[in-house]
Structure 1
């Protein structure tokens, strides 16, 4: 698992940070979204005013630790990117990529 981003949580519940890979380096925001149904995402991910993905609130089975499960996609990607936003030390949140 590789860290591809770092975010900080704002008072309004959104996360602001940067996503960095070999091909992208963008500032992004993960904002709470109004749920239209029970399967709808809890958050929307945007960069430069364009929706880049969605996130769902989850809890780890063993520890109960809360995290966000993200799906990022863009026409420039060969496939969607799945990642988890987990709380790290010192209040930052780490975006961890997985396949």
Structure 2
């Protein structure tokens, strides 16, 4: 899979960077979700561009015990979320 974004983690737990696809070329922030959610399927983080949520991320652990985020983006120009 090709890389469409690059982010840097801040001390406050947010990430800042850019997302670049055919339809999007924007600065983005990945911020913690509302901790009040009780659903197991609720995302851990939200992807924000220009104040609008365009995606979500979930914390995962790989088979070799490394942490990563699984991110899903959605945009009206996409035929389906990526």
Normalising to structure 1: TM-score of the pair?
A: 0.76
Q: Which runs of 5+ in 2 are unaligned?
A: none
Supply the RMSD in Å over aligned alpha carbons.
1.0
SS at match of 2:3: strand
In 1, the alpha carbon distance for the partners of 2:41 and 2:24 equals 29
Q: Please report how far the alpha carbon of residue 23 of structure 1 lies from its aligned counterpart in structure 2 after TM superposition.
A: 2.5
2:54 alignment counterpart:
52
1:85 alignment counterpart:
none
Q: After superposition, give the CA deviation of every residue in 1:20-76 in whole Å (9 maximum; x if it has no partner).
A: 112221111100112412211100111000000111000101x11100001111222
Q: Which has the higher contact order (CA 8 A, sep 6+)?
A: 1
User: Once superposed, which parts of structure 1, at least 4 consecutive aligned residues long, lie more than 3 Å away?
Assistant: none
Give the paired residue count: 80
Residues 14-93 of structure 1 correspond to what in structure 2 (within 5 A)?
14-35=14-35, 36-37=37-38, 38-61=40-63, 63-81=64-82
Q: Which runs of 5+ in 1 are unaligned?
A: 82-99
In 1, the alpha carbon distance for the partners of 2:25 and 2:14 equals 20
Structure whose residues are more often strand by fraction: 1
